[in-house]
Every structure is written in C-alpha cells, then in structure tokens.
Homo-oligomer: A and B are copies of this chain.
Amino acid sequence: MKPIGQQKKEKAQEAPAQLDCACFTCPSQEACKAAQEAEKTAPVEEKIDFSNVEIEPLFQDFVDFETFSKSDFRAVKVLACEAVPKSKKLLKFTLDDGTGEPRTILSGIHAFYEPEQLIGKTCVAITNLPPRPMMGIESCGMLLSAVHQENGEERLNLLQLDPHIPAGAKLY
C-alpha cells in the first residue's frame, strides 16, 4: 500500500531515458504537451483492493458533544522530521501549528515512514494533550494516523491533508 505519489514516480522511472520522437522538435510541441496534459488530468479509476482489510469494531458507547469538543485538533505543517536516537519507533516532528512557535511532537511511526518523506506535509494533531516526556524529549500533543489490519498485519497511514489548508486551521 504505497502512497499514490510514490507509485507514479516508480512508473515514471520505467520510461526510456533516450528518445528520438519527432514531437520533441516539431513546431507545435507546446500544444502537443498541453493536449497530453489534458488527457492525463482526466480522472483515472484505480481499483483498490480492500478485501483483506479488518477494522477495529466501532465504539458502542456514545460520547457527548461537549466531551468531544474538549480536544483541540489542528492542521499542522511538518517543518522538520528526524529519527529519535536510540529509538526504533520514534520520529521527532517539528511542526508549524499556526501560532508562530514551533511545536514538538513525537510519534512512533518509524516502521511505516522515513522522516524525509514527511517534511512539508500537512497533518492533523491534537494540540492540547498535556506535554509528555519520551526518550528525554517533551512531546506536546499527538499526530493522528489511520490504523487498520490487512492480512493480519497492522497498517498505518499518517493523516495527510490538502497542502492548501493552513497551519492552525481548526477541525470541526
């Protein structure tokens, strides 16, 4: 289950390195490119196989709206991300939460992502959990991931939002 962007990149790398197509010298190359661009932006139906997916049963207990509203969820931008020394799981995120003060959050997702993949991404954090020290670093909140099982294995997707959503945008 690779991110879509990565799949595209791999596909692109299969393209021949050297080309002798007449298109590259023809006078209307720009128009040609534009036409192919138009073709490419047509919606592509990708079949995703969810047949081996298992999810945790939904909660039976209700939560009242007031309790739900006590948590402060925000869009955050990943300014920096690095592995925590001596930890197999933890990544240390430096985040823009819209306040102007960088926020540090630790997340145990190194088994699923390399830190450099995540820089610049727009994610979701709960920002008002009490700070909690982990491996000597204070984690100020939690980044949200979507978790399921597939073929008996845990799969995790860090939530990633449209980059047009600004840091600090509140989730309702």
Contact = CB atoms under 8 A, between A and B. Distances in A.
Interface of A: 1, 3-4, 8-9, 11-16, 19-24, 26, 28-29, 31-38, 40-41, 46, 48, 50, 53, 55-56, 58-65, 67-68, 70-75, 97-99, 124, 126-130, 142, 144-148, 157, 159-172
Stoichiometry (number of copies)? 2
B99 A74 contact: no
Nearest to A101: B58
A129 B71 contact: no
Contact of A148 (B34, B56, B166): B166
A172 B148 CA distance: 11
B37 A40 contact: yes
**Majority secondary structure, A binding face:** loop
A120 to B, nearest CB: 9
A22 B19 contact: no
B144 A169 contact: no
A170 B75 CA distance: 18
A164 to B, nearest CB: 5
A16 B148 CA distance: 45
A170 B55 contact: yes
B4 A16 contact: no
